[in-house]
Amino acid sequence: MERSTEQADKGIMAERRIGVIEQMLHRGALSRWRRAARQAATTELTRLRSLRQKARQLRLHLDELMYVADSRLALPRIGSNAFPKPAGTDWSWRPQIWRGPLPRKGMASVPSKTPIGDEVTVFHDCRISELTLRQLRNSREEDLAPFGLRMDVFRFDGSFLSLVLDLPDSACEGLKKRHLVRLDTIIETEKPLEIFARLNVRHGPNTETIVRELPLYQEDVSVEFDLAYSKLNEKRVERMWVDLIFEGPEMNQITIRDITFSRYPRAEL
């Protein structure tokens, strides 16, 4: 017992020594780079070129560290699938983009049919794309989704812009005509924009479509797709997807802070 206690004490002392050494090295590195920054205006050019290269290498690692640290330490937590659901919900889902970090955080001059993660695809018919996409970290107190998606649309010479969200197979399991499918989203725009949501359900050779317009001048939006009025063949449901269609998006910034889906049976009369 005494031996194990002695070993533990030695381990703590070793960690403290390492911590002190790291602090000293950190202070020394800060001092050197502070001095280099102050003297940059008069430093000999060959030496300055070498310092610039080292600074770029250092910044690459610092930027990566800061990005990962900000993502991990900020709220809401990465991977969160928490959001309010209607009573009786038997299926719910938040797409990957709004749930976790993407390997590629941003894209410029985005061509049509570009996938964003595994579940979302961009479609448009522009001859010259002036569309940029960027995943951003949500940090507002009211945000429940860890991430958001921002689209900057500059000149737009096409007739349509849409995001297609492929719902997982679990959305089709047990789907009945008595179900309501609900979409909840938080969308910010620089100027008012008409946005439509179209639910598509493929059953055998046919596809049922239900279109809902998202209210203007509202950030928090909920729309419901009622399958009772469709001609859905419950035994042949194969696939579901939703088109988010943006009308006249030119010179606008569109930020989708969150988007979630839930499915629940309509109340029996």
Grouping H, G, I as helix, E, B as strand and the rest as coil, residue 135 is strand
Model confidence at 79: pLDDT above 60 = no
What percent of the chain has a predicted confidence (pLDDT) above 70? Answer: 88
Write the CATH number of the domain with boundaries 91-265: 2.60.120.260
Q: Residues 4-53: pLDDT tens digits?
A: 566 656 566 666 776 778 888 888 888 888 998 999 999 999 898 998 99
pLDDT of residue 201: 95
Position 81 confidence tier, pLDDT thresholds 50, 70, 90:
low
| pLDDT at site 209 | 94
- By mean pLDDT, which of 29-43, 52-66, 77-91, 127-141 is the weakest? 77-91
How many helices (H) and strands (E) are present in the chain, helices listed first? Answer: 2, 13
Q: Which two tokens stand for residue 268?
A: 């029996």
pTM of the model: 0.69
Instruction: Please give the residue that has the higher pLDDT: either 27 or 198.
Output: 198
**Alpha-carbon gap, residue 126 to 112, rounded angstroms:** 8
Confidence band of 181 (pLDDT split at 50, 70, 90): very high
